[in-house]
Amino acid sequence: MKQLLILCQQEEKKLGRLGNQRADAQTRVTENHKQRQAIDNMLNEYHGSSSHRVNPLLLQNNANLLSTLKPLQNKLDKQEVLLQREHQRMDGLWRRQLGRQKGLSWLYEQRKSEQRKAIDAQEQKQLDDLSSRYQNQG
C-alpha cells in the first residue's frame, strides 16, 4: 500500500513536469506566431509603401528590407511547424501521463477502501465475539 502511494506521488510529479514542458512548448509556439505575424505586417507595409515611393534610394532601401525579411519569414514558417510538432508530442506525453496518474490514483483509492472495509469487518467481528461472550457469561 505504501509503495502504491509513493508511486502515485511520483506519477503526480511526472505529470507536473510534463505539464510545465507542455506549457513551455505552447509558449514557444505562441511567441513564434507573434514574430511571424510581425514579419507579415512589416512585409505588407513595405510592399504597400514601395509602390508609392519614387525616390530611388527609398525604393532600394525597401527592396533591401524586403529581401532581408523574406528569408526570416521562411525561417519562422519552418520553425513554427517544428514547434507545433513538439507541442503536439508534449501534449500526447502529458495526456498519457495523466491517464496513468489517474489510473494509479483510482487503484490506490480502491485499495484504501478495500483495506478500510477489511478493518471495519475485522473490528465488527471482534465486537460480535465480545458481545457473544458477555451474553454467554450473563
Which cell numbers hold the place of 122?
475485522
Each residue's pLDDT tens digit, 11-55: 999 999 999 999 999 999 999 999 999 999 988 887 766 556 567
Question: In angstroms, rounded to a whole number, what is the distance separating the alpha carbons of residues 34 and 29?
Answer: 9
Residue 137 has pLDDT above 80, yes or no: no
Q: What is the pTM of this model?
A: 0.74
pLDDT of residue 54: 66
Decide if 53 contacts 62 (C-beta within 8 A): yes
Which residues are within 8 A (CB) of 70 and not within 5 positions of it... i.e. 6 or more apart?
A: 43
What CATH number is given to the structural domain containing 40?
A: 1.10.287
Q: Which residue has the higher pLDDT, 134 or 99?
A: 99
Q: Which residue has the higher pLDDT, 132 or 8?
A: 8
Helix (H) or strand (E) holding 126: helix 56-137
pLDDT of residue 118: 94
pLDDT of residue 42: 86
pLDDT of residue 51: 59
Residue 62 has pLDDT above 60, yes or no: yes
Categorize the per-residue pLDDT at 6 as very low, low, confident or very high, splitting at 50, 70 and 90.
very high
pLDDT of residue 98: 97
Each residue's pLDDT tens digit, 70-110: 899 999 999 999 999 999 999 999 999 999 999 999 999 99
Domain that holds residue 106: 2-137
CB atoms within 10 A of CB 56: 8
Number of domains in the chain: 1
